[in-house]
Amino acid sequence: MNSPFEDVLILDLTWDLGRYVGRLFGDLGARVVRIEPPGGLPDRRAAKSADATQREPAVYEFEFLNAGKDCLTLELDAQHGRDAFAALAREAKVILVERGGPLYDDVSWIREHAPSAVVTSVSPYGRTGPWADAEANDLTLQAAGGIAWLSGRVTDAPLRLPGVQATMITGVYAATATSLALYDTLATGRGHEVDVSAQECIAHSLQNSIQMWDFERKVSMRGGEGTRDASEDMFACRDGLVFLAAPRSLGVSWNALVGWIEETGHDAAQELTKDRWADRVWRLTAEAKAIFRQTLESFTRDYTQEELTREALKRKIVMGPVAKVAEVLDDPQLRHRGYFEAVELALAGARVDFPGAPYRLSEPVWRLKRAVAGAEQPQPA
Amino acid sequence: MKPDFLKGIRFTDLTWAGAGPFGTKVFSDFGAEVLKIESTTRLDSVRTAGPYKDGVFGLNRSGYFASRNTGKKSISLNLKSEEGKRIVRELVAQSDVVSNNFGPGAMDRFGFSYEALREIKPDIIYLSMPMYGQDGPRADLLGVGMTISAVTSIMWQTAYGPDDPVGPGTHYPDHAANPYHAAFAVLAALAYRRKTGRGMKIDLSQVESTINFVGPAIVEASATGSEPPQIGNRSRSHAPHNVFRARGDDAWVAVAVTDDAQWRALASLMGRDDLAADATLANATGRLAALDRVEKAVADWCAVRTPEEIVSTLREQRIAVAEVAHSRKLIESDPQLAHRRYWQRVQHPEIGAVLLNSPPYLIDGERVELDRPPLLGEHTRDVLGNLLGMSAKQLDELDDQGVFS
């Protein structure tokens, strides 16, 4: 009884959008058991594929999203498999199902055997409605949920966010909803059914664009076109890119930046101290953006990311390095805090620096275990 | 439904701006009493961030604020005053959770460190969510949501192709990773306290939290020693898989073919039996090797059709497809969201009906009904009177002293 979910058994039948839910609970003590058919769920099959095109990046997604989960192979099409599942379901507090995976269409049957559990369904569009059966994947969900529209250049196509963001967004919302329901279930004995739509989760994460339409009849455009200040962007420096934010609404950042440039005697100060930079509306224009980029980069190209970050810290400028993926592993702040966990991967065959906890808790209850390689044999009921 | 799952749980909520209030909103939506501590001397920056109803500025008119603060109670307190700080401590003494998203050291300067508040309420759950953590060489780096995208590689990875990053168009980490990791952690802490009687401190570095959202790429870079490719809307495992221009003004569709049968079906319905019969394109490896040819065929086909035509045709063939929707489409013409009654309008005394996203799930088949966001300081007297037992005379005196400013 020394971690939040230590006495909670979770049966996890998810294979894509729902996988992060069990991961989050498992790290905080729940026993999470992936129930898989012989041959594995689709994510395991992809992760173990002999074809490198199919295996990568699926294998890294599998390692990350299934860390800490146990695995049990059950033939749910056969009576003995159903019996074994029913026996487990009677002990489970949470059962996670996903469209396209086992038992998604058998929630009533699951609830007969687990009336006091939380049964969470994860699906692209939810259980009901005209698109309930529509095919979907990360790209099409980012499109249907409205988030792809918001990124990219206005002169080019909308751009999705990288990796498996539909899975990550859906995962945190579904985990939170499941935990809310579980809190009630453990207090009252009432079971609950949670129906999570990935499209709705994504549409819930669109900054202020819903209210922009509702209140001002403006469609938020990709890249912040027409709304983002000239200073809010990436700029080249000597060894890469930095991200800066110094709009007039962040006056401290702007003043510190211009003050530093003036201090160095660089020519860029002559431009940036002109009155026009006090005009918030002009700063949104393409003209201002072009002038600002040329002017600022004439200054920042003399400095490395590290030097610029050091000055940002000292002078309270909102500016930091644009890190490549591998550079995150060398981030001095993360190294100082001992963020990464050393993990021997189950399928990918390497010892890696694995992302640490999303939150540090003063009680020692978060624990990372690697994913299970799998191929376990069916267990007797 | 108006869920009462968290009835009896009280927050003293010092979070402001985007990520913090979005996380604590989860609790007010589920029956907890969330006391939002605000001040006219240090306004929540989202109250002064648009959009405003009818484009007219006002502290109670921001739609952005409304969407992050449903169901909360607003208490206006000047925390520069000793009385204001004392009242916060009294509220904490009667709270289960105290939450903040200030930078490192700010809570200590108020006298609200975990250690200090634990003396007042031994089992308090203390959520802190600074950008880069409480300690370390970059702990004091100032940032916004996009800064978090930058240092976590999300900005670099959000790219059209190699060395062509553009980054997310929003302060993305503020809208999913950080508020919801925070909410999940607080729920876990509540579960833990119910079992053990013990509270805890949650130190959520928003950078560390967000890195988990690109966890697979981090694991890959560490495993291989090389940088995962910047692939934009494409896939490393499937083709065609991209966003294509459709007929219409700035109209786009996302198309993702994820198996060989879908490819054959797509090629046929595009009238390209030559592609369907081409053995070199029969599997994903072959199509990825001939990406320009494959994508050109899809692009040509999409360019002369409306998004609606494309979506209905490809869905019949069980191919993943969607129009790239913007806010207006989601609100006014998305049949799925409409069918599931996703949008709610909540009445507000100053700005009328406010359109809000429902929590993105049904519970027991029902929508969670939202309560309106509070006016600035709306509940100050009620809460201090009823919860702390202050008399009208005491409240008037505090008001006169500027404590409620």
Considering the domain architecture, whether residues B198 and B129 belong to the same structural domain is answered as yes
B337-B341-B344 Cα angle (round to 5): 110
Is the pLDDT reported for residue A1 higher than 80? no
Alpha-carbon gap, residue B320 to A349, rounded angstroms: 32
Distance to chain B for A235, nearest Cα, Å: 11
Using the Cβ of B335 and the Cβ atoms of chain A, whether some distance falls under 8 Å is answered with yes
Considering the domain architecture, whether residues B257 and B377 belong to the same structural domain is answered as no
Whether B229 maps to a domain, the answer reads no
User: Which one of A141, A325, A363, A367 would you mutate to disrupt binding with B, by most B Cβ within 10 Å of its Cβ?
Assistant: A325
Residue A262, judged by CB atoms within 10 A of its CB (0-12, 13-18, 19+), counts as middle
Is the pLDDT reported for residue A376 higher than 60? no
Q: Are B362 and B340 in contact (CB under 8 A)?
A: yes
pLDDT band at A375 (very low <50, low <70, confident <90, very high): low
Alpha-carbon gap, residue B352 to B283, rounded angstroms: 56
Using the Cβ of B164 and the Cβ atoms of chain A, whether some distance falls under 8 Å is answered with no
Taking each helix axis as running N to C, give the angle between helix A19-27 and helix A58-65, from 0 to 180 degrees, rounded to the nearest 10: 40
Give strand pairing partners of A234. Answer: A243
Residues of A whose CB is below 8 A from B257? none
Say if the Cβ atoms of A162 and B157 lie within 8 Å: yes
Write phi, then psi, for B244 (nearest 5 degrees). -120, 145
Same fold? A9-205+339-354, A233-322: no
Alpha-carbon gap, residue A217 to B360, rounded angstroms: 23
Alpha-carbon gap, residue A68 to A370, rounded angstroms: 5
What pLDDT score does A100 carry? 98
Say if the Cβ atoms of B166 and A223 lie within 8 Å: yes
For chain B positions 119-138, those within 8 Å of chain A (CB to CB) are: 132-133, 135-138
What pLDDT score does B311 carry? 98
Say if the Cβ atoms of A242 and B150 lie within 8 Å: yes
Considering the domain architecture, whether residues B19 and B50 belong to the same structural domain is answered as yes
Whether B373 maps to a domain, the answer reads yes
Closest CA to A124 of B206, B340, B383: B340
| Alpha-carbon radius of gyration of chain B | 26
- Determine if the peptide bond prior to B51 is cis (ω within 30°): yes
Say if the Cβ atoms of B355 and A211 lie within 8 Å: yes
Considering the domain architecture, whether residues B305 and B380 belong to the same structural domain is answered as no
Considering the domain architecture, whether residues B295 and B376 belong to the same structural domain is answered as no
Distance to chain A for B350, nearest Cα, Å: 13
- Determine if the peptide bond prior to B240 is cis (ω within 30°): yes
Considering the domain architecture, whether residues B91 and B18 belong to the same structural domain is answered as yes
pLDDT tens per residue across span A233-268 = 999 999 999 999 999 989 999 999 999 999 999 999
Indicate the number of domains in chain B.
Answer: 2
What pLDDT score does B329 carry? 98
The CATH class of A233-322 is alpha beta
Considering the domain architecture, whether residues B113 and B162 belong to the same structural domain is answered as yes
Distance to chain A for B261, nearest Cα, Å: 14
Using the Cβ of B220 and the Cβ atoms of chain A, whether some distance falls under 8 Å is answered with yes
> What is residue B62's DSSP assignment?
B
The CATH class of A9-205+339-354 is alpha beta
ipTM exceeding 0.95? yes
For chain A positions 245-274, those within 8 Å of chain B (CB to CB) are: 245, 250, 252-253
DSSP string for B306-338: -HHHHHHHHHHTT-EEEE---HHHHHHT-HHHH
Is the pLDDT reported for residue A374 higher than 90? no
pLDDT band at A348 (very low <50, low <70, confident <90, very high): confident
User: Which one of A116, A165, A215, A284 would you mutate to disrupt binding with B, by most B Cβ within 10 Å of its Cβ?
Assistant: A215
Say if the Cβ atoms of B169 and A232 lie within 8 Å: no
Q: Are A212 and B318 in contact (CB under 8 A)?
A: no
Helix H segments across A301-336? 305-315, 325-328, 332-336
Q: Report how many Cβ contacts below 8 Å link chain A to chain B.
A: 503
Among candidate residues B295, B324, B353, the one where a domain is terminated = B324
Residue A76, judged by CB atoms within 10 A of its CB (0-12, 13-18, 19+), counts as middle
Is B174 annotated as catalytic?
Answer: yes
Query: Cα A259 to the chain's mean position, in Å?
Result: 37
Distance to chain B for A300, nearest Cα, Å: 17
Residue B371, token pair as written in the block: 């309560």
Closest CA to A332 of A314, A308, A304, A306: A306
Considering the domain architecture, whether residues B298 and B366 belong to the same structural domain is answered as no
Say if the Cβ atoms of B176 and A173 lie within 8 Å: yes
Considering the domain architecture, whether residues B199 and B81 belong to the same structural domain is answered as yes
Closest CA to B98 of B25, B184, B36: B36
pLDDT tens per residue across span A212-223 = 999 999 999 997
Query: Cα B350 to the chain's mean position, in Å?
Result: 25
Residue A259, token pair as written in the block: 């003050």
Closest CA to A185 of A112, A103, A99, A117: A117
Closest CA to B201 of A69, A362, A309, A282: A362
Say if the Cβ atoms of B5 and A180 lie within 8 Å: yes
Q: In Å, how far are B146, B303, B325 from B316, measured between CA atoms?
A: 39, 19, 20
Q: Are A144 and B323 in contact (CB under 8 A)?
A: yes
Start-to-end C-alpha separation, chain A: 27
pLDDT tens per residue across span B4-13 = 999 999 999 9
Among candidate residues B270, B296, B324, the one where a domain is terminated = B324
Alpha-carbon gap, residue B146 to B167, rounded angstroms: 8
Distance to chain B for A364, nearest Cα, Å: 10
Residues of chain B with pLDDT under 50: none
Considering the domain architecture, whether residues B350 and B320 belong to the same structural domain is answered as no
pTM of the model: 0.97
pLDDT band at A19 (very low <50, low <70, confident <90, very high): very high
Write phi, then psi, for A189 (nearest 5 degrees). 80, 0
Helix (H) or strand (E) holding A262: helix A251-264
- Domain locations in chain A? 9-205+339-354, 233-322
User: H helices then E strands: how many in chain A?
Assistant: 16, 12
Greater pLDDT, A377 or A243: A243
- Residue from B174, B249, B259, B274 carrying the catalytic annotation: B174
What pLDDT score does B108 carry? 97
Residue whose tokens read 């990288």: A162
Q: Which structural domain, as residue segments, surrounds residue B93?
A: 10-213+342-400
Q: Are A147 and B158 in contact (CB under 8 A)?
A: no
pLDDT band at A381 (very low <50, low <70, confident <90, very high): very low
Write phi, then psi, for B94 (nearest 5 degrees). -110, 20
CATH at B107: 3.40.50.10540
Say if the Cβ atoms of A326 and B227 lie within 8 Å: yes
Using the Cβ of B184 and the Cβ atoms of chain A, whether some distance falls under 8 Å is answered with yes
Alpha-carbon gap, residue A381 to A291, rounded angstroms: 71
Using the Cβ of A216 and the Cβ atoms of chain B, whether some distance falls under 8 Å is answered with yes
Considering the domain architecture, whether residues B248 and B307 belong to the same structural domain is answered as yes
Among candidate residues B272, B295, B324, the one where a domain is terminated = B324
Say if the Cβ atoms of A200 and B204 lie within 8 Å: no
pLDDT tens per residue across span B252-281 = 999 999 999 999 999 999 999 999 999 999
* Pairing verdict, β A31-36 and A9-12: parallel
Counting residues of chain A whose pLDDT is more than 70, the rounded percentage is 98
Residue of B nearest to A26 (CA): B188
Using the Cβ of A338 and the Cβ atoms of chain B, whether some distance falls under 8 Å is answered with no
Whether B89 maps to a domain, the answer reads yes
